[in-house]
A and B are shown apart, each in its own frame.
Chain A
Amino acid sequence: MKTDPKTFVQDYHLNGCIQCGMCTGGCPVKFRSPLNMRRLVRETSSTANPSSLFKRPELWACTTCSTCSLRCPAGVKSVELIMGIRNFLANQGEVPSTIRDALENTLLQGNPWGRFRDRRADWAKDLGVKVLGEEASDTLLYVGCAPSYDPRVQNVSTALVKIFQKAELDFGILGKKESCCGNEIKRMGEQALFKKLSKDNTNLFKKSGIKRIITLSPHCFNAFKNEYPDLAIPVQHYTQVLADLIETGKIKMSKASDVPVTYQDPCFLGKQNLVFDEPRKILTSIPGLKFVEMERTRQRSLCCEGGGGRMWAEGSTEGTRNGEIRIKEALALGAKVMATSCPFCLLTLEDAAKISGMTDRIAVKDISELVAEALEA
């Protein structure tokens, strides 16, 4: 898999660029980093030796939110260019040390956190969850790495399990056989490792006989839906499933607390995969919940800076994090809860609330946690 930077112009349609600046204009890290997509496209297409441009730490600041590619009027594949550059660098071993660790951990232990594979499903051990292989099911709940190992996100996994069980939705998890979906791996530049993960996972899914996949994370949703070449199994994000369960009366929620709640559209669910309505349907179905919309919403949602390997590297960014800006925006609306539907949004926004010292004024919660609370009440 030899990446030759000289083919980038062709691979990513760089010659179509009209230098309008829509990409940089929409880039969520432009105020925090010297990363300038418009300039990068120009420089890459006009130099004979593009690889000289690539030893820049700001190339690792990109969150792969894809706003640039989605907005480009000329069909330039900007975010794909970043991923191609990172692939070129990774193949030579030129990645930040924390990215190195995340990639090596994924190859060895099946998760970028380097946690022991055999403990991947420990979070579920007392929940009476089916493990595929030991028991059969048509539906796979694909949990993901952060929801398996991160203590904060494990609450989300647990909440979702409880909701599915209450709704009598039959499902199973892969347990310790589950490996990273590879979405972030690909975005950190490891195309070969992504290829291996997608092949191994596809075979595993097919062997387990499942007929549908529900993911907890929009990142896994994106990988399975859009980037696994041979996966012929339908994939849904859990918000799509919950919205349906609510509509068909399988989930009954009693009164929630009377607080204003706003919602952060995750980049990998919202702007990239156009799932905007289902999370809102769920929230507005929770009795008593006052839903308020932030100004930068839906396609314009401000990236939390969790994607694209940013959970493992800062890419030399400086200044106020986007998460803190979002928390301020939510507070200005009078919101008391920031709802999310992505583990990375959950972690970065909650961190931001703590850093801003605002945890007594606003709580960050996953939609599944809100629904689970409303079920119990």
Chain B
Amino acid sequence: MGEIFVLVEHRQGKIRDITYEMLGAGEKLASQQGTSSTAVLLGHHVKTFAEELALRISKVLVVEDAQLEHFNSILYQKVLASLIAKHQPLLTLIGHTAFGMDLAPSLSAEMGLPLVTDCIGLSFEASRLKALRSIYGGKVNADVSLRESQGYMATLRPGVFRPAVPGEKKGGIIIEPSPLHGATDIKMFVEYIEAPLTGEDITQAEIIVSVGQGIGGPEHIPMIEEVARNLGGVLACSRPVVDRNWLPKERQVGVSGKTVKPKVYLAIGISGAFQHVTAMQGSETIIAINKDPRAPIFGVADYGIVDDFQNVIPILREKTKGTK
């Protein structure tokens, strides 16, 4: 039986956390199926990565190439296509991330392998891959099965699977020759752009009061910002609030915004979609105010108020006046 491939995701000199989560998931699946898992590492000067990974997995396949210094879906796909053709893995795991979403679907179409994306659970039923997915904004889960195939592909949702921990034994590192013949001119990496730091740095705050599109309109924001200040904290928000220009991007807590770990995170009118939750679930105490008792946020929060925020926040504002 083929092994389980785990594509290592790294950027700007760091292995990203999703990699360790996939290693953990891959190892578990491999032992269930009586096979092994292998980290697949593409890059340039990535020897130290390989060493680090070898502590968490029994085999690391490395393809070193100057062209692989920065992620480029065309080049990554070329390399992976040749590795998959050669090794015929049972399953290839890729992160459901900005890199993974740019790569996995096209790779699956090229190889003719069935793909399931954004999985929060994976299992085999005999030789058939099954996945658990979260749909309809997190309100519903779905059991999905893939068509029978010699090989499968899946992208995993970050922040869900338990990461592999470093062990005693050191796995083997195998260098594979690069199948690339120079650069590609149809898609080229140009540069990374960091978000400029303007205004308040919400990542440093101890108390964050965060608003979602559930507040219905920007006219409520001044009152909520006042509450935030009264509590000695800062105002933040979820992505839809930024998309609608109710608040600037620097206030956004989310996968594509900032990750925060305050002492208190008060989420108002935020449903709890995972792209937001991922970026604040490290908060010490999470309190959610939402009129929908089924909002996914209540599965993450420590305390909850099931009510329209307009019933609660005005009273909170009165009560916190002059407490700063």
Contacts and interface: CB of A to CB of B under 8 A. Distances in A.
Does B associate with A? Answer: yes
Interface of A: 97-98, 101, 113-114, 150-152, 312, 314, 354, 359
Given A98-B218, A151-B311, 15 more contacts: A97-B244, A97-B245, A98-B219, A101-B217, A101-B244, A113-B216, A114-B216, A150-B310, A151-B308, A151-B310, A152-B310, A312-B217, A314-B219, A354-B314, A359-B318
A110 to B, nearest CB: 16
Nearest to A360: B318
Contacts of A152: 310
Interface string B287-324: 00000000000000000000010110010001000000
Nearest to B309: A151
Contacts of B244: 97, 101
Interface of B is mostly: helix
Nearest to B213: A114
Contacts of A314: 219
Contacts of A97: 244-245
Contacts of B218: 98
Contacts of A113: 216
Nearest to A312: B217
> Which of B216, B219, B244, B311 is packed against the most chain A CB atoms within 10 Å?
B216
Contact of B217 (A98, A151, A354): A98
18 contacts: A97-B244, A97-B245, A98-B217, A98-B218, A98-B219, A101-B217, A101-B244, A113-B216, A114-B216, A150-B310, A151-B308, A151-B310, A151-B311, A152-B310, A312-B217, A314-B219, A354-B314, A359-B318
Contacts of A312: 217
Nearest to A347: B310
A151 B318 CA distance: 18
A354 B315 CA distance: 10
Interface residues of B, number: 11
A312 B244 CA distance: 14
Nearest to B310: A151
Contacts of A359: 318
Contacts of B318: 359
Interface in B242-290: 244-245
A193 to B, nearest CB: 19
B3 to A, nearest CB: 48
4 smallest beta-carbon distances between A and B, as pairs: A151-B308, A151-B311, A151-B310, A98-B217
Contacts of A151: 308, 310-311
Nearest to A359: B318
A237 to B, nearest CB: 25
A296 to B, nearest CB: 26
A107 B218 CA distance: 21
Contacts of B216: 113-114
Contacts of B311: 151
Nearest to A357: B321
Contacts of A150: 310
A312 to B, nearest CB: 7
A359 B219 CA distance: 20
Contacts of A114: 216
A98 B241 CA distance: 12
A150 B314 CA distance: 14
A146 B216 CA distance: 13
Interface string B214-233: 00111100000000000000
A113 B219 CA distance: 13
A361 B314 CA distance: 17
Contacts of B245: 97
B220 to A, nearest CB: 10
Nearest to B222: A355
B291 to A, nearest CB: 9
A314 B244 CA distance: 16
A97 B213 CA distance: 14
A11 B310 CA distance: 43
A151 B219 CA distance: 16
A354 B316 CA distance: 13
Nearest to B244: A97
A101 B219 CA distance: 13
A114 B214 CA distance: 10
A148 to B, nearest CB: 13
> Which of B217, B219, B310, B318 is packed against the most chain A CB atoms within 10 Å?
B217
B271 to A, nearest CB: 13
Contacts of A101: 217, 244
A151 B244 CA distance: 24
A98 B245 CA distance: 10
A101 B218 CA distance: 11
B232 to A, nearest CB: 21
A336 B308 CA distance: 28
A127 B216 CA distance: 27
B321 to A, nearest CB: 9
